[in-house]
Amino acid sequence: MKLAGVVMCGLIALLCLSCATGPTVMYGDPEATETLTVDYGSTDLQMIAEKMVTSMLVHPAVTERNRPVVFVGKVVNKTSEHIDTKAITDKIRTALVRSGKVRATAVSDVPDELIEQLDYMNKSGLVNPQTAAKIGRQQGWDFYLYGEIMSITKRTTRVRDVYYKITLNLVDTQTALIEWADEKEIRKGQKRKTFGL
């Protein structure tokens, strides 16, 4: 009976010790290939942005103009997954602006805040009129960028195959012509292990 009590106390102490140590946290390389599941992930986001930005920056619609202004619109999610499409457009916009070859308007992200700031500077009487941003001087945009992401999923008992395709279009706002378009395709497969193997 005493032995059982000692063993029980030892197990409880071991359990408390294991709970007290907590999980191990480590940093990983954000650009390392992520292959936990076939679901849309960080590697897909990086591949999409790299492909689209590289393609757009060498196209004559961009190279033949002096730093055109782009309104980065929405990417419509037509997959069965929850995909944060704003992360896609943010990554693409950031890479385009960092290239120095394209400028992007902030109107798509903060229109209400911009209007409030302009109103404050011009109507409050608290800002020096010589330094206040003037109403009606915001830069228009040369292009509107939009697109969609879709997926096709096939599965059997042991295999799951997911195909993703993202398409982007760059439209000239003066002519409504699509001046550039490209797509990125990704296929991912996952095979479940057979029991006992």
Residues 87, 165, 38, CA angle at the centre, nearest 5°? 75
Across 7-16, 49-58, 174-183, least confident range: 7-16
Segments of 17-158 assigned E as strands: 69-78, 103-104, 143-155
With beta carbons less than 8 A apart as the criterion, state whether 169 and 180 touch.
Answer: yes
Q: Give residue 34's pLDDT.
A: 64
Q: Per the structure block, which two tokens stand in for 163? A: 């195909």
- List pLDDT tens digits, range 20-40: 566 777 676 667 666 667 678
Across 18-27, 68-77, 107-116, 155-164, least confident range: 18-27
Domains and CATH numbers, the chain: 35-105+142-197 (3.40.50.10610), 110-139 (no CATH)
With beta carbons less than 8 A apart as the criterion, state whether 53 and 96 touch.
Answer: yes
Q: Give residue 26's pLDDT.
A: 67
Residues 190, 84, 109, CA angle at the centre, nearest 5°? 160
R_g of the chain computed on alpha carbons: 26
Torsional sign, CA 39, 42, 46, 52: positive
The amino acid that residue 185 corresponds to is: E
* Proportion of the chain above pLDDT 70, given as a percent: 81
